[in-house]
Structure 1
Amino acid sequence: MKAKQWFNLHAWAGLFVGSLLLITCLSGTLATLSHEIEYLSDSKFRALSHSPNIDFTAIENTLAERYPGSQIISILRHQQSYLATEVSLKWQQQFLFVYVDGATGQWLGEGQWGRVSRFLRNWHMNLSMGWTGKLIVTSLAILLVILVFTSPIVYRQWWRHLLKKPRQLQTTNRSSWADWHKLLGLWSYWFIVVMAVTGVWYLVEHGLQTAKVDHYVKPPATVSQLQSNAQQPRSSATIISAAQQAFPSLHIRAIQYPTKANKAVMVLGDNNDILVRLRANKVYLDAASTDVLAIQKAADLPLVARIKDTADPLHFGNFAGLGTKLIWALFGFLMTFICVAGLYMNWLRVKRKQPSLLKWFGIMGAVSMLLIGYSLLLTIQTFSVRQAPATVYSPVLGITQSNN
């Protein structure tokens, strides 16, 4: 291909659904820092003590006192110790988030399912449009791959311009926008590659899920064939103790109770593995007897399952504390600006020949804008909707606490 053809391919990939790509970059960047945004917005999201330990007994006692008759759905301690521990609770047949200090169990506040992190996650992940929305978002990875491949070809001898000072940005000066577009693109190239690779994986994963192809490890037979138990489920502290004995190196951060008596309770945590989701290391237990049914370790996962558990930390930078999240957010904003600059540069280039903004934007541009508006309204209407499960196989707090 000739240089002009490579340039046209690069421009096409950036303009095809440029506004949608821009919004996806922006929403993903904000989602990376969504819990920090919540932290700044309300004191209930802030842990009082930054100890990595979790006192499950204290948490249950606090919940039993404030919400008698409630049931724990799950407890989650975030990787960042400055964030409050959150408890998903079934309270008066409704879903409720309760925020506590993980180390002391002190009550910090409560809230519903809808919050900043949920809004941004729904919008970024699938435009709040379910299967169709996820296909649209993940398909943008193909455009990113084209942009990653064509950029070094279009920008010849790019290595000579890594330290080149760009011109002062001027609203109507296309060359100044081009300077910033190229320079920021060079310094953000590694990040765009990461987004393209993880985005392609999400697209592949969506296809596997649609085709109902198993690509993650199934729980062993001891878990799937668990029989219903007439006994009452045990307290989280008792279950955590049994899990810790079975998996001593696990730094426990979460417990998830099942919705049925023949399902296992899961205890999840970290085990000094690099780039894995919380669910990669877990212990399955019988909620009534606390018998350990199975242990899953990230180190033992097959390749595809390991990729699946690595994609999210790599995509959002949530694998090494606040530092990596800030780095990911910075380059996410730069990537967003690169999208803005690319769109605006193209408009400045063609506006003399095509002064109509609507004609320049084209059919796909109009469709993208309509899709963005529709998805935003849909997210506003649906992001706070969450029903409590009909049943939860967990202790009724304040009533059956004596069952330890």
Structure 2
Amino acid sequence: MRKISNRFWYAFHGWCSLPIWVLFCFICLSGTIAVLSHELTWLTNPNARASNPHDLPAKSNAEVVDIFKKAHPSADVSTVLTYEDYLVNVVLFSDHDQPFAQAYVNQYSGDIQEINSGITFIGFMRSLHGWLLFPWQQGYSIGYYLVSSMGFVMLGSLISGLMIYKQFWKAFTAPKLRFNQGKKTLLNDLHRLAGVWSIWFILLMSLTGLWYLVQGILMHNDIEVEDHAPLTAVSSLPAQQQAFKVDLAQALKAANQQFHDFKPTYVMMPEHNRDNFHLYGSGKDIFFDQYSYQVSVNPWSGDVVHTMSPSQMNTVQSVMHIVDPLHYGTIGGIWTKIIWFFFGALLTGMSITGFLMWRHKLVQIRAEKTVAKPAAELKESF
């Protein structure tokens, strides 16, 4: 009975990944690179670096927008993005000759270091890993469902792997890696050792991946998890067309009064007369993402019309804002990113060693059948 059970778990472990091992390996690899996409951008693109040789204080988002508007007065700014301190602020805008572009503005020196009208490396890697660059239509992407459903694959592989590997906990105290007993033994040891040491990581990626699947289903069915800020009443609008009475600097001040530890990371300008300033940022809660603090400010009156913070969130909202830092390893800055990158590389390697083990076994089975067939024919001839 135990032998049958082991055979089942071996087959189940194989079917969890082998039919789609190339896709699974690619998703693991792209996710591993995406974890360090900010750092790789800093490394490969000098214009993305926020150099600060004179140790100047960082300018606010409002000052960054003012600097950009002076250089491009006809541009329509829609969004300001703030990344790590060593990366520039990014101003998203449209102009008469550019329907969509991004300006890299050094928040310390005020220099506009680059105008980019294409997709960035950060955006490319997040999109490639998140939905395989499949198009979005009617609120969903097939690629998004393919990627998030890998949570089932990882969870199934983890459970079946632990059922196969009896007393797996010994790999923590007495790791076994045999280099002198052949390729098959070495691959098996590498696969098991990496799997045992990555249990926590595989479980974390499985659960966060399944949450992304749930989140995609909610989005596909137009189920709102968070409330929207109310639009300005038509009766409150001025009789004649005029500029907003409240600027971005005042909106940011209102947000800081609302949340003293508020650090803006994503600022959206009003899209029309009834819209608001939408300010997203982070605070003192390290386990929540960079959008967990939200403040919407009326551009006519300066009133704060909507807020959101971790203390105001329900369970579903809290999970939604915790998942990203856990999935991409941003909870502790560069050091946790490096840890996530390492275990992501291990997971990618496990998909490769698993395939090589399966291929080696398949070749062996075919060889045994080839030898057994002439022997059977010879026996029949007698």
TM range (shorter): 0.7 to 0.9
For residue 262 of structure 1, what is the aligned residue in structure 2?
Answer: 274
Q: Does 1:132 align with 2:132?
A: no
Which residue in 2 is equivalent to 1:382?
A: none
Map of 1:394 onto structure 2: none
When structure 1 is superposed on structure 2, of 232-241 and 278-287 the one drifting more is 232-241
Residue in structure 1 matched with residue 195 of structure 2 by the alignment: 185
1:91 to 95, 110, 126: 95
Report the Cα distance in structure 2 between the residues aligned to 1:304 and 1:179, rounded to whole angstroms.
40
The answer to whether the aligner puts 1:168 opposite 2:179 as a matched pair is yes
Indicate the residue corresponding to 1:12 in structure 2. Answer: 15
Distance 1:135 1:57, change over 3 A: closer
1-structure distance, mates of 2:319, 2:56:
31
Q: Which one of 250, 257, 260 corresponds to residue 248 of structure 1?
A: 260
TM-score by length of 2: 0.85
Match of 1:232 in 2: 243
Q: Deviations over 1:234-281 (max 9, x none)?
A: 432232123222333312333211322212111122221132222220
1:5-404 equivalences under 5 Å are 5-49=8-52, 53-78=58-83, 80-92=84-96, 93-129=98-134, 130=136, 131-162=141-172, 163-168=174-179, 173-214=183-224, 216-219=225-228, 223-224=230-231, 226-227=233-234, 228=237, 230-233=241-244, 234-354=246-366
The 2-side partners of 1:104 and 1:239 are apart by: 23
Percent identity, please. 26
CA distance in 2, matches of 1:195, 1:183: 18
Tell me the TM-score normalized by structure 1.
Answer: 0.81
Equivalent AA in structure 2 for residue 174 of structure 1? K
CA distance in 1, matches of 2:44, 2:25: 26
Question: Where does the alignment leave 5 or more consecutive residues of structure 2 unmatched?
Answer: 368-382
Following superposition, the deviation at residue 169 of structure 1 comes to 8.7
What are the Cα deviations for residues 362-402 of structure 1, in whole angstroms up to 9, with x where unaligned? xxxxxxxxxxxxxxxxxxxxxxxxxxxxxxxxxxxxxxxxx
- Structure exhibiting the larger radius of gyration computed from Cα positions: 2
- C-alpha contact 2:266 2:291 (8 A) present in aligned 1: no
- Residues 59 and 104 in structure 1, CA contact (< 8 A), matched pair in contact too: no
**Equivalent residues of 2:248, 2:277 under 8 A apart:** no
Deviation digits for residues 312-362 of structure 1, max 9, x if unmatched?
11111122211111111111011000110001110011113348xxxxxxx
CA distance in 2, matches of 1:47, 1:40: 12
Give the letter for the 1:197 counterpart: L
Give the CA deviation at 1:209. 2.1
- Counterpart secondary structure, 2:364: coil
Counterpart residue type for residue 277 of structure 1: D
* Whole-angstrom distance in 2 between the partners of 1:30 and 1:310: 21
In 1, Cα distance between equivalents of 2:180 and 2:16: 24
Aligned alpha-carbon RMSD (Å): 2.1
User: Partner letter of residue 306 of structure 2?
Assistant: A
Distance 1:354 1:200 in 2: 38
Whether the 8 Å CA contact 1:32–1:328 is kept in 2: the answer is: yes
Find the residue that maps to 1:17 and give its secondary structure: helix
Query: CA offsets per residue over residues 31-85 of structure 1, 9 Å max, x none?
Result: 111121111111111112377843335323321232121122111211x211111
